Every structure is written in structure tokens, then in C-alpha cells.
Copies of this chain bind each other. A is one copy, B any other.
Amino acid sequence: MDLFEAIRSQRAIRRYTDEPVPMDLIHRILAFAVRAPSGGNQQPWSFIVITDPSLKARISVFYRRSWDEVYGPPERAATLSRQVFSSASGLAENMAEAPVLIMACIKHDGAPSSLGRGASIYPAVQNLMLAARGLGLGTALTTLHKRYESEIKNLLDIPDNVETAALIPVGYPASPEHFGGSRRRPVLELTYLEQWGKLVN
């Protein structure tokens, strides 16, 4: 698979076939995940691979609750395109049906959570998703479960000095044509030269 084609055609895949995902494929995408950079090459990541149906069901209850809290109010739902709303609410209802859930975690030093911490885990998450794309697997990057961070950590026995970063369902796409990129604003509208607000063209 071509790098640029993989990047262009990545998109959130939120519906999966029942086909189980072989564990060696999960290991392969994780091996690509950890090629990503991390601050000082500290590699502070861990990944929990969740396939147990009852565990998936318990996690999905928290995910669904978060979805309802965040996107239940019509004015919040309206911040999503119709297509994203439909697809993402479907995932919120059926998260437990994904063949595999991967919880990406990051070890930290006890400092308050911050954007910068993400520089040492989300590049790995993106590698994971691109590698999955390259192997024909669908994924979606979700973080809504973090509204129930302590409950989820308790459920998965995650220690205090570790924060969850992403809950990533993985499966074979229900429709192969689901790959294919999605709409983005033109890059020149959000690129500035030398200073904020100074458009290039």
C-alpha cells in the first residue's frame, strides 16, 4: 500500500463485519504504532486489546452514556455533519459489536493532563490506524470514554500513573467502499506564513 494513498483514503470506519480479526494482525498494527516518535524516545505507551464480550459491553455502556451526554442536546448534535452524526451515533450504540477494542494508554509523572502529553501517544495511534488501513482493517479514533476515565481505569485495572488516550474499535469494514477519504477544508485556508492570520496566497 502506497503511503500517500493510505493517508488520502483513511477515514473513520464505524461499522464492521462479524469476521474475527486475527490476533497476529493486531500485533502487526501495534508494532507499527510503536515506530512513532515520543518525547525523549521514552515510549510511554501501552495498549490493552479487548475482545471479551462482557468487557466490551461494560465499556460500551460508558461510551454510550458519554455520547448521550455530549451529543444528546440538539445544539451539540448540530455541530456534527449529518453523515458524521449518523455514523458516530451508530458506533455509540454498537461499540460492543466491534470485534476488537484497543485502549491506548500513556504513562505519566503525575503532572496534570495536558495537550503536550498527547505528542507521545497520538502519533502512535495514527500509525496504528494507518497500518490498519494498509491491512484492510477499519478503525475509528474515539475519546468520549474519557468522561468516565476513573470507571474505565477501574474496569481495566489501569494504574494511577497511566492515563487513557484513545478507545479504538477495530474490525473489517461492513462496506469495503467505506475507505476513501472524507471532506476537509482547503489547506491554504488554515496555513499562515510567518504569523497567525497571514494567508500564504
Show the binding face of A for B, using Cβ within 8 Å. 1-8, 10-12, 23, 27, 30-37, 39-43, 45-52, 55, 79-81, 84, 88, 105-106, 112-119, 121-123, 125-127, 129-131, 133-134, 140-141, 143, 146, 156-159, 162-163, 165-166, 181-185, 187-188, 190-197, 200
Given contacts A40-B79, A45-B190, A123-B123, 6 further A-B contacts (CB under 8 A): A7-B127, A27-B188, A27-B200, A41-B81, A48-B192, A118-B165
Residue of B nearest to A79 (CB): B40
For A184, the chain B residues whose CB sits under 8 A away are 34-35, 43
User: Within the complex, which residue of B1, B113, B143 is in contact with A4, where a contact is CB–CB below 8 Å?
Assistant: B1
Asked whether, in the complex, the Cβ of A126 is within 8 Å of the Cβ of B122, the reply is yes
Min CB–CB distance A141 → chain B (angstroms): 5
Asked whether, in the complex, the Cβ of B191 is within 8 Å of the Cβ of A27, the reply is yes
For A123, the chain B residues whose CB sits under 8 A away are 122-123, 125-126, 129, 141
**Bound Cα distance from A190 to B35, whole angstroms:** 13
**Bound Cα distance from A51 to B39, whole angstroms:** 25
Min CB–CB distance A35 → chain B (angstroms): 5
